[in-house]
Amino acid sequence: MTSCRICGGRLHEFGDFGTQPLSSGFLEPDYIGDEYFFRLALGVCASCSMVQLMEEVPRHLMFNGHYPYLSSGSSVMRKHFERTARRFLETELTSPDHFAVELGCNDGIMLKTLAEAGVRHLGVEPSKSVADIARRLGIRVATEFFQESTANEIRETEGPAQLIYAANTVCHIPYLDSIFRGVDALLATDGVFVFEDPYLADIIEKTAYDQVYDEHFYFFSVTSVAAMAKRFGFELVDAERLPVHGGEVRYTIAREGRRTPAPSVAELLAREETAQLTHLDTLKTFFRNVEQSRDDLVTLLKKLRAEGRSVVGYGATAKSATVANYCGVGPDLVSFVSDTTPNKQGRLTPGSHIPVRPREAFEDPYPDYALLFAWNHAEEIIAKETRFREAGGRWILYIPHVHVV
């Protein structure tokens, strides 16, 4: 693709991670067939400044009945989404007949609180594996991709929604024109469309290149989201930085002229302008830092192997597919990856073919080093794995640069 998926403008490519597999395509250990590969590369639009992937992976290959990712695997995220839901109950969902829709509700981590409060709600979640878990909690879920046609059907049967919410989902969706037409059809006149996703400024500052993988199609900034909202007849009325998943922004979008924009929108726009966040030179510098980070990690892992140290991975994240495949890290450098997700355990990581084992394997016995692929949950994980440190173990982190703690 050479043109912007939002506005059709010219895309300037600034980083190439080579061929990559599906980030959640964990393989059975005896699998001998071909894996799906695509070219993972980044570009920025010269017109609207949206940073995006150069190539799109068909959505049904990623989001289907085998999608393994469970949002509720982190206690910090469970608290984050409970707080989020409680705030919506105070600000947007104030009347008993209000209606809330969540795109990508996954296992129900956020809607659970709304359902328990008796709020009329609907999750739209195409991955049946996780939608079924939410349904078992008493949450209403449509196993579908949200798009214009889905929105029209929901509007016909349920009426308008005061709140349309999505966490870590809008950046997964290349066809945002259809999403915004759907929001236009479904959102109440004074309703809001709220979404939160990894923030480009945090990705650049932390050289968090592993945020780039098949599912993450867009890398939002306040600048690009404000332009996108305007293009589709809406207005960005709030932008709030969040500490979760390595740094995100929560965007609140309303119909044009319906809400007074919060001061944070202008503040963050000015800050991005000063930092030249979406300028090609800034992005090229980011990618030089990515290459340095890769070289440092490979050097460290090879040195540890030469010294006969044991190294395992912690967290078979989707993000780690980019690290393992871009850096060429396989079972020779990292003997296995420990992960709590049942549908990842007993399988091999995509492309790099490192075995995934349950958490129990991590302490049986503790390794010399653990490569923290789930660095976005570092505080939670390091706090609960104190015995690993006491046993002499050390964490390897590659965010914001390669270091050992």
240 has which bridge partners?
250
Q: Which position among 377, 395, 397, 402 is part of the footprint of ligand TMP (CB under 6 A)?
A: 377
Q: Which position among 22, 40, 42, 48 is part of the footprint of Zn ion (CB under 5 A)?
A: 48
DSSP string, 215-230: T--EEB-HHHHHHHHH
Strands laid side by side in the 248-255 sheet: 141-142, 120-124, 99-103, 161-167, 187-198, 248-255, 234-242
Residue 323 binds: one of Zn ion, ligand SAH, ligand TMP, none (C-beta under 5 to 8 A by kind): none
Q: Does 339 bind ligand TMP (CB under 6 A)?
A: yes
Q: Judged by CB under 5 A, which stretch of 5-13, 143-151, 169-177, 337-345 contacts Zn ion?
A: 5-13
Residues 48-77 that bind ligand TMP (CB under 6 A): 73-74
Least distance in angstroms from the C-beta of 305 to ligand TMP? 23
Nearer to ligand SAH, 110 or 200 (CB): 110
Distance CA 32, CA 34 (A): 7
Q: Which tokens is 369 given?
A: 């080093």
Distance CA 332, CA 313 (A): 12
Distance CA 271, CA 274 (A): 5
Judged by phi (left if over 0) then psi (alpha if -120 to 50, else beta), residue 167 lies in beta
The contact pattern for ligand TMP, residues 72-111, with x = CB under 6 A and - = no contact, is: -xx-------------------------------------
> Minimal CB distance to ligand TMP: which residue?
315
> Minimal CB distance to ligand SAH: which residue?
104
Least distance in angstroms from the C-beta of 24 to ligand TMP? 9
Q: Which position among 52, 113, 168, 207 is part of the footprint of ligand SAH (CB under 6 A)?
A: 168
Q: Does 4 bind Zn ion (CB under 5 A)?
A: yes
Q: How far is CA 385 from CA 367, 373, 378, 382, 395, in A?
A: 12, 15, 10, 5, 10
Least distance in angstroms from the C-beta of 102 to ligand TMP? 17
> What is the size of the binding site for ligand SAH (CB under 6 A)?
20
Q: Does 248 bind ligand SAH (CB under 6 A)?
A: no
Judge contact between 358 and 345, C-beta under 8 A. Answer: yes
Residues 303-332 that bind ligand TMP (CB under 6 A): 315-318
Who's near 244: CB < 8 A, 6+ residues apart?
A: 76, 77, 80, 376
Dihedral of CA atoms 133, 139, 142, 146 in degrees, nearest 10, equals -100
Least distance in angstroms from the C-beta of 57 to ligand TMP? 17
Judge contact between 57 and 217, C-beta under 8 A. Answer: no
Residue 45 binds: one of ligand SAH, Zn ion, ligand TMP, none (C-beta under 5 to 8 A by kind): Zn ion
Specify burial of residue 213 (Cβ count, 10 A radius: 0-12, 13-18, 19+): buried
By CB under 6 A, name the binding residues for ligand TMP. Answer: 73-74, 315-318, 339-341, 344, 374, 376-377, 380-381
By CB under 6 A, name the binding residues for ligand SAH. Answer: 63, 67, 69, 71, 103-104, 106, 109, 124-127, 130, 145-146, 167-169, 172-173
